[in-house]
Structure 1
Amino acid sequence: MTAAPRAHDPAPDRAAHPDSHPARQTSPGTRRYDAVVIGGGHNGLVAAAYLARAGRSVLVLERLPATGGAAVSTRPFPGVDARLSRYSYLVSLLPSSIVRDLGLRFATRKRTVSSYTPVRRPGAAPTGLLVGAGRTRASLAALTGSDREYEAWRRFHAMTARVAAQVFPTLTEPLPTRAALRARIADDTAWRALFEEPLGVTLEAHFADDLVRGVVLTDGLIGTFADAHDPSLVQNRCFLYHVIGGGTGDWDVPVGGMGALTAALEHSARAAGARIATGHEAVRIHPGQGESEVVYRTADGEGTVAASHILVGASPHTLAALLGDPPPPPAEGSQLKVNMLLTRLPRLRDPAVDPATAFAGTFHVAEGYGQLARAYREAAAGRAPTAPPAELYCHSLTDPGILAPELAASGHHTLTLFGLHTPARLFTGDHDATRAALLDAVLAELDAHLAEPLSDCLARDADGRPCIEAKTPLDLERELGLPGGHIFHGDLSFPHAPDTADPAGTEDAAAQWGVATGHPGILLCGAGALRGGGVSGIPGHNAAMAVLHPAPGR
């Protein structure tokens, strides 16, 4: 078809190899590639790098002025040289095989502490539950008065570790059937606990203490609005992805911030010959037989490119709009992301724990089991939680290099807060007022466990304003195109083929890799693919494999 009135073609990539496959003219005004990737987030860059390294001609169209999507580092506070992971911030699901395959110069570091949860009980001195650093058993015993919860903790996490070791390697393979995945796990108790019964049933059977149940449950609620007993098991699916990463469930700190991963991926893709066009927004996909066209928009007008494969790193909602298809069910994000820079870490009411220990891992606030249930009920009824649950961590304790040397030397630290049970519906009225009120409420919950107000520790930017910013689901929808601000592009799925799939494995490669869209040659390569969500690169890898290996079989 003839191109629409158009701007310049995407500019040649100066970093591409001079002998890389050139785009070929197929009709006036239309340039052809083997693959066009829509969206230059980390998954799109993974897909582009794999395809370019395999000798395919690849064009990446990115709407924003820079690549990375949600996996970026920025200096959000004017005049302050601190590079914060603005949206996503920890790494667990990125397979080491992707790092090796693409030759990425990217590293992560282990956190010295898993979590700290402060405790205030009537008539008792402030204390807390410290997990990690060799203190888990003693801390649980001090909290509960016996070793029972520690033994339950040990058994439960041994179970999830066994599941992780079996499931994680399958994420970069063709989708197993449900029966095949169950056989691979080979543990009926674990299968029932994680894949069949609501997570709340499992936690109540394993643990007696309300706080312990809540600490474990939080992994099922990150970016997911659900009750522990939700019959859809969306909380189970979220929990599973949070405990299988790397085969261990560890959540590690990206050295240099999340933007270091994006930079490494962009370098890998460009070095292999992929062309990356920022400021180019895809506005329409025209499916075709053997070749499809993408209409894009720049500041100067519109243009058209064609390819035998279109890989979409944007959400399924964006894909439907590009195709003119009916939209999928609405998605709703549920988080409040707060970035801060402090002049010092605040002192705790619990004198037994140093702030550098407490904030090195995940610092839980208002995340007891009962507190989480109450916050969910309030938010489901359209009211902001009275005691908003949240978790915090300090990146700069593990990776001080994200701060300018003078900031690090003077004791400055970053602090990241992730609020739970704050669904998009809460912000549809007066957005800014609701965001401010929720921020005040969640910081008040934190202050209840501190020996000094957090506000006394906030650094100031060049204009004298406190170094703190908050992002709601609606902010993420506006800034990143996430549907309803959902950080996973929609509810996560279990990592096996749908029950409607052909167990003989006769579907096409896109279906077998979990990246099918219903349109031949058009694949999902973002978080909305099966086995998507989180900073993993897995959907990008799997979409590339579906292109490169058209008949993998199961």
Structure 2
Amino acid sequence: METSHWDAVIVGGGHNGLVAAGYLAQAGRRVLVLERLDQVGGAAVSAHPFDGVDARLSRYSYLVSLLPRRIVDDLGAQVHLARRRYSSYTPDPATGGRPRLLVGPSSTFGAVGAADDEAGFTEFYRRCATVTARVWPTLTEPLRTRSQLRSAVVADGGPEAQRAWHEVIDQPVGDAITAAVSSDLVRGVMATDALIGTFAGLDDDTLIQNRCFLYHLIGGGTGDWDVPIGGMGAVTGALVAAAARFGAQIRTGADVYAITPDGEVSYRDGDGDQRVAADRVLANVTPAVLARLLGEDEPDIAPGSQIKVNLMLRRLPRLRDESVTAEQAFGGTFHINENYSQLASAYRQAVGGSVPDPLPCEIYCHSLADPSILSPTLRDSGAHTLTVFGLHTPHTLTAGTPPDQIRRNLTAAVLDSLNSVLDEPIQDVILTDAAGRPCLEAKTTADLQDALGMTGGNIFHGALDWPFAEDDEPLQTPAQRWGVATAHERVLLCGSGSRRGGAVSGIGGHNAAMAVLGR
């Protein structure tokens, strides 16, 4: 078998792999990207999931916060994002969804009996910004140590930054949230950022929930989550175009089955077994998948914990609260059954092996901010997309249950939760496809593992790490300094499993490329 040689072979064509390919090819390196599926993008893809319905939905990932403008500009990628006008809408589940909290240009804390919490809410996030604004630029720089970064944050922000560092990084974030506000509903709105895709209690001593919270607030230094114009597939398309323009080669349908520490990669494609060699192999797969490809013992990976349901609606559903418009309610993040006490109860139920009832959920409507994903006919008809993200549904709930059954169970829990705060059943406004079937698509942790190779369905490829090195960690090599090192010098992480990976950011790919280039 003939073996071709490359400066870098990237295993996995997700968005991080494409970013790494773009940077390395731009620097004159010979780069080959190998993707198992018939399209690149990984979780950052769009699809027409419903027969005869001309709507291009973001199938897995759906919002962008952590993609630095620097990466987009460096690669000349045509990525366009829209800012959502409203932050969040939260009906009070205790009253069936009539009083509500709207956070945006005109917030309504008083409507849910939490007028006294508005100042504490605002002050808490202002303090957090003294940390996030300083940490954000360092994500595309060599790692600081914990002490170095803390000193820089405190030097810039003073005593308030020191307090915020302690609240977010040194103690369970639930303590800071409950100290800042007293309303169960307001506390829940704040706490959800610590739990998206993360299975933990808000008082967990491991602080895994704090790391999730920090990454959800850190994007751009402000924590804004923006809508990708054209859908998530448009982001991938822009990165593919950039990498190809610089000369990177991309092969789909290339199923990698082995990697050696000295840089040899074996894969199968339509022509049979193939083998390539590289000075550096960049692994845009989970650490567990990489270990398997290297023939090593797989590390334990924290389970994923989410259910995502994509819906196509004839129109947005009616609300029991007539004081807000559909644009206000669905234009930001729509929180359902996410009071602080409900989140704690749902976690306990899931730990006990049950699907939470009610299931904490969040709604996002892409088509309000970006109608371009719909055909003109659908737009004119008043149709809209809806994405529902359910919390505290760990991968352990799928054990021993057929995939179709767990999908039905979790989808039913999602729809029941939605209906608890709507003025009509969501089923009544779901569009049907060409065969008369409801336009509803569910993606469980098992689906992510089976379709995308995400171990345990974890959207972060494992528990998120702090965006700094511990003081005693070795930082001698470029790969260590950029947070992409493995046990093998010629094999680097370049995906969400790298030190500052997670979400649609490109940071893992950028940092792996910088390590290869010695920058």
Q: Any idea what the Cα deviations from partners look like across 1:287-308, whole Å, max 9, x if unmatched?
A: 22xxx11001113311100010
Matching residue within 231, 238, 242 for 2:212: 238
Question: For 2:416 and 2:327, how far apart are their aligned partners in 1?
Answer: 21
- Percent identity, aligned pairs only, is 55
* Contact 1:160–1:244 (Cα < 8 Å) also in 2: no
Matching residue within 106, 111, 120 for 2:84: 111
Question: For 1:279 and 1:439, how far apart are their aligned partners in 2?
Answer: 31
Question: For 1:300 and 1:383, how far apart are their aligned partners in 2?
Answer: 46
Matching residue within 142, 159, 174 for 1:174: 142
Structure 1 position 142, deviation (Å):
2.5
* Contact 2:93–2:337 (Cα < 8 Å) also in 1: no
* Contact 1:114–1:362 (Cα < 8 Å) also in 2: yes
Amino acid at match of 2:486: T
Alignment RMSD, CA only? Answer: 1.2
Amino acid at match of 1:264: A
Residue 8 of structure 2 is matched in structure 1 by 35
Report matched runs for 1:362-401 at 5 Å: 362-401=333-372
Q: How many aligned positions are there?
A: 512
Matching residue within 67, 70, 79 for 2:43: 70
Structure 1 position 499, deviation (Å):
3.6
Residue 54 of structure 2 is matched in structure 1 by 81
Residue 158 of structure 2 is matched in structure 1 by none
Question: For 1:437 and 1:480, how far apart are their aligned partners in 2?
Answer: 22
Structure 1 position 145, deviation (Å):
5.2
Matching residue within 467, 470, 473 for 2:442: 470
Asked if 1:51 corresponds to 2:24, the answer is yes
SS of match in other structure, 1:82: coil
SS of match in other structure, 1:244: helix
Structure 1 position 441, deviation (Å):
2.0
SS of match in other structure, 1:475: helix
* Contact 1:57–1:274 (Cα < 8 Å) also in 2: yes
Q: More deviation in 266-275 or 327-336?
A: 327-336
Asked if 1:314 corresponds to 2:285, the answer is yes
Residue 234 of structure 2 is matched in structure 1 by 260
SS of match in other structure, 1:79: coil
* Contact 1:331–1:491 (Cα < 8 Å) also in 2: yes
Amino acid at match of 2:153: I
* Contact 2:147–2:471 (Cα < 8 Å) also in 1: no
Question: For 1:84 and 1:151, how far apart are their aligned partners in 2?
Answer: 38
Residue 461 of structure 1 is matched in structure 2 by 433
Question: For 2:360 and 2:253, how far apart are their aligned partners in 1?
Answer: 37
Report matched runs for 1:390-539 at 5 Å: 390-430=361-401, 431-502=403-474, 505=475, 507-539=476-508
Give runs of ≥4 in structure 1 deviating > 6 Å.
Answer: none
Residue 157 of structure 2 is matched in structure 1 by none
Question: For 2:296 and 2:470, how far apart are their aligned partners in 1?
Answer: 22
Q: Pick the structure with more helix per residue.
A: 2
Report matched runs for 1:193-342 at 5 Å: 193-288=167-262, 292-342=263-313
Q: More deviation in 540-549 or 183-192?
A: 183-192
* Contact 2:484–2:493 (Cα < 8 Å) also in 1: yes
Structure 1 position 112, deviation (Å):
1.0
Matching residue within 42, 67, 75 for 1:94: 67
- TM-score normalised according to structure 1 size: 0.91
Question: Which protein shows a greater Rg?
Answer: 1
- TM-score normalised according to structure 2 size: 0.97
Residue 144 of structure 1 is matched in structure 2 by 113
Question: For 1:145 and 1:227, how far apart are their aligned partners in 2?
Answer: 24
Question: For 1:517 and 1:467, how far apart are their aligned partners in 2?
Answer: 43
Residue 103 of structure 2 is matched in structure 1 by 131
SS of match in other structure, 1:201: helix
Structure 1 position 120, deviation (Å):
4.2
Question: For 1:65 and 1:412, how far apart are their aligned partners in 2?
Answer: 30
Question: For 2:330 and 2:400, how far apart are their aligned partners in 1?
Answer: 34
Matching residue within 333, 341, 352 for 2:323: 352
Question: For 2:281 and 2:114, how far apart are their aligned partners in 1?
Answer: 59
Question: For 1:213 and 1:185, how far apart are their aligned partners in 2?
Answer: 26
Structure 1 position 125, deviation (Å):
8.1
Question: For 2:269 and 2:472, how far apart are their aligned partners in 1?
Answer: 41
* Contact 1:193–1:199 (Cα < 8 Å) also in 2: yes
Question: For 1:529 and 1:326, how far apart are their aligned partners in 2?
Answer: 18
Unmatched runs of 5 consecutive residues or more in structure 2: 155-160
Question: For 1:330 and 1:347, how far apart are their aligned partners in 2?
Answer: 41
Question: For 1:82 and 1:75, how far apart are their aligned partners in 2?
Answer: 6
Question: For 1:97 and 1:125, how far apart are their aligned partners in 2?
Answer: 42
CA 272–145 in structure 1, closer or farther in 2 if over 3 Å, else same: closer
SS of match in other structure, 2:51: coil
Structure 1 position 121, deviation (Å):
3.6
* Contact 2:114–2:183 (Cα < 8 Å) also in 1: no
Question: For 1:530 and 1:79, how far apart are their aligned partners in 2?
Answer: 42
Question: For 2:306 and 2:284, how far apart are their aligned partners in 1?
Answer: 22
Unmatched runs of 5 consecutive residues or more in structure 1: 4-28
Structure 1 position 278, deviation (Å):
0.3
Residue 13 of structure 1 is matched in structure 2 by none
CA 302–358 in structure 1, closer or farther in 2 if over 3 Å, else same: same
Amino acid at match of 1:179: S
Report matched runs for 1:153-172 at 5 Å: 153-172=121-140
Question: For 1:324 and 1:273, how far apart are their aligned partners in 2?
Answer: 32
Asked if 1:542 corresponds to 2:516, the answer is no
Residue 190 of structure 1 is matched in structure 2 by 164
CA 242–145 in structure 1, closer or farther in 2 if over 3 Å, else same: closer
Question: For 1:349 and 1:429, how far apart are their aligned partners in 2?
Answer: 39
* Contact 2:97–2:420 (Cα < 8 Å) also in 1: no
* Contact 1:52–1:58 (Cα < 8 Å) also in 2: yes
Question: For 1:242 and 1:456, how far apart are their aligned partners in 2?
Answer: 33
CA 125–381 in structure 1, closer or farther in 2 if over 3 Å, else same: closer
Amino acid at match of 2:76: G
SS of match in other structure, 1:113: coil
Q: Any idea what the Cα deviations from partners look like across 1:222-250, whole Å, max 9, x if unmatched?
A: 00000000000000000000001011100
Q: Any idea what the Cα deviations from partners look like across 1:430-468, whole Å, max 9, x if unmatched?
A: 232232122112211211211111111101111110000
Question: For 1:447 and 1:419, how far apart are their aligned partners in 2?
Answer: 14
CA 69–344 in structure 1, closer or farther in 2 if over 3 Å, else same: same
Amino acid at match of 2:457: G
Question: For 2:371 and 2:97, how far apart are their aligned partners in 1?
Answer: 33
Amino acid at match of 2:117: E
Question: For 1:482 and 1:331, how far apart are their aligned partners in 2?
Answer: 11
* Contact 1:345–1:356 (Cα < 8 Å) also in 2: no
Amino acid at match of 2:69: S
Q: Any idea what the Cα deviations from partners look like across 1:444-493, whole Å, max 9, x if unmatched?
A: 12112111111111011111100001111001100000000000000001
Q: More deviation in 354-363 or 485-494?
A: 354-363
Question: For 1:30 and 1:441, how far apart are their aligned partners in 2?
Answer: 51
